[in-house]
Each structure stands twice: as C-alpha cells, then as structure tokens.
Amino acid sequence: MPFYGGGDLSRLLDESKLTTEAVQFYAGCTILALTQLHSLEIVYRDLKPENILLTAEGWPVLTDFGLVAFLDEGRATSMVGTPEFMPPEIVSGTGHGTDADWWSLGVTLCELLTLTTPFCEPEAASNHERTYANIVRGRFSKSFEQKEFRLLPKHTAAMLSGLLKLDPPERLGGTRRGTESIRCHPFFWGLNWEALEARELTPPYAAHCQASNKAVTTKFDESARAGTLMVLPPSMRPCSREEGESNAAAAAMDKMFDFSAW
C-alpha cells in the first residue's frame, strides 16, 4: 500500500464541518469505491472518516480492509465495526450484506456535514448500549435531531434519511433500489459523475492536503536522518488469531482491489 500524506477526512473536521460541495465530492468518490466492492460481493463494514485517507493531491482513498466480509457463501453475521457507524442489522445480528455499507455512509456524511454522528447521545458518548438502542430503532439522538438535522437543507436531509432507512434493501444505493438511486438523488445534482470518474475535477482542500503531505514527509525525513525511525515488517508485528484472519482477508483484497477510491 502506498503512502498517503494528505491525512484523513477526520482531520479536515478538526477545523470545521465541510461544505456541501466538498461532501458531494467525497461522497461521490466513496460511492464509486463501494459500488466496486459490492460488485465483487464484498461488504466493507467499517466506513468512517478515519478510514478515508487523502492523497497529496486531495483525492480520497478507501483503506483498512481488515473487517471486510466476502459474501460468496451468503450473508455475514458477525458483529463488527465502529459502534456509532454500525447499521441495525449488524447490531442486532440478524445477518447483513452490502446494504450495511450504505447506512455507514449515511452516518459518515452526517459527521462531515454537522461534526456529529446521529445516534450517539453526547452525554453518554461511551455508553454504546444507548447508541445501539437508537440505531436498532432508527431514532436520532435528541441533540442531533433538534440541533443539527432540522437545520439541514431539504435535499440534504432527504438524502441522509434515505441512507439511514431501517429496511436495508430500501436504502439509497441498496439492493432493491440500486446504486443509481443515490447517484440521481437531488443532493448530487451539482456533481458531474462522468468528470469525477475520469478524475477531471479538482479535489477540495487540495492545498490543505499538499501542506499536510509536506509536513509529514519532512518529519519522516528528519526521523530517518536521526536514526529514530523503526518500522516492523508485517511478520514481526504481534497479532491475535482474529487479527491474523483479518490480515489474510485484506491480503486477498489487495489482489482484487488496488486500494484507490474506485
């Protein structure tokens, strides 16, 4: 896997929530990546801003495939992922497929647009049980509902609601509605999908990513010259049996998917 020095999407949120145009761009790239994975019968299962890295030019890259599930033998049933971003079918253990990723995309876009996730109660952020209870009911936290969601533009709120439907196949992008249902949604009317796929658009925050890349590579060079840089090869890194299985899945993914945004 190559080095991506632009940081990740969560670092952009340290400064402010993203503009609608920026969210359209990053969401569009992620939709293309998920569509590619789903065509291979692979569900990603850990979509969140921290797992979307940025190149020095500002292009997003979907990374960390340690929790992917291969659906060639049917629906997955394990409870995995990051609590705030997990869909109800993973929380409840009823079995899940590629539709799970569209829910996580909805939560991710909520955070990019509002700096908060919709199901976590701020006063009990570490209480995953309360978060899970909200998720399985499809119920936003009171704080998100009153302070964030009601203030969103109509098309933005409709897009998020479409991704966060309790019935998995009925979600935007879901197996019953198809990926075209999200690409054609009014929220994305300002996005040129053909130009995006051809990489003819200028990524937002390109200057930020270039500055971040320069800072990281400068620090790397300084550490290398000082002799303080040590990177263990994969064979020397300790891991549990479960982590080993995830690494094996990621290695298999590497043969089929080049870790680019699509």
Q: For 14-59, what is each residue's pLDDT tens digit?
A: 878 899 999 999 999 999 999 999 999 999 999 999 999 998 888 9
Query: How high is the pLDDT of residue 220?
Result: 43
**Catalytically annotated residue among 8, 46, 99, 101:** 46
Inform me whether the pLDDT recorded for 164 exceeds 70. Answer: yes
Q: Which of 39-43, 136-140, 237-241 has the lowest mean pLDDT?
A: 237-241
**CATH class label, 9-220+238-256:** mainly alpha
Among this protein's residues, is 46 annotated catalytic?
yes
Residue of 205, 194, 202, 199 lying closest to 54 (CA atoms) = 205
Distance, in Å, from the CA atom of 258 to the CA atom of 130, rounded to the nearest integer, reads 37
Q: Where are the beta strands (DSSP E) in the chain?
A: 42-43, 52-54, 60-62, 69-70
Query: How high is the pLDDT of residue 1?
Result: 57
| Dihedral sign for Cα atoms in the order 164, 31, 182, 21 | positive
Inform me whether the pLDDT recorded for 99 exceeds 60. Answer: yes
Q: Which of 27-41, 76-90, 107-121, 211-225 has the lowest mean pLDDT?
A: 211-225
| Residue pLDDT, tens place only, 196-214 | 999 999 999 865 655 555 5
Q: What is the DSSP letter of 18?
A: P
Question: Where do the structural domains in the chain lie, given as residue ranges?
Answer: 9-220+238-256
Query: How high is the pLDDT of residue 214?
Result: 59
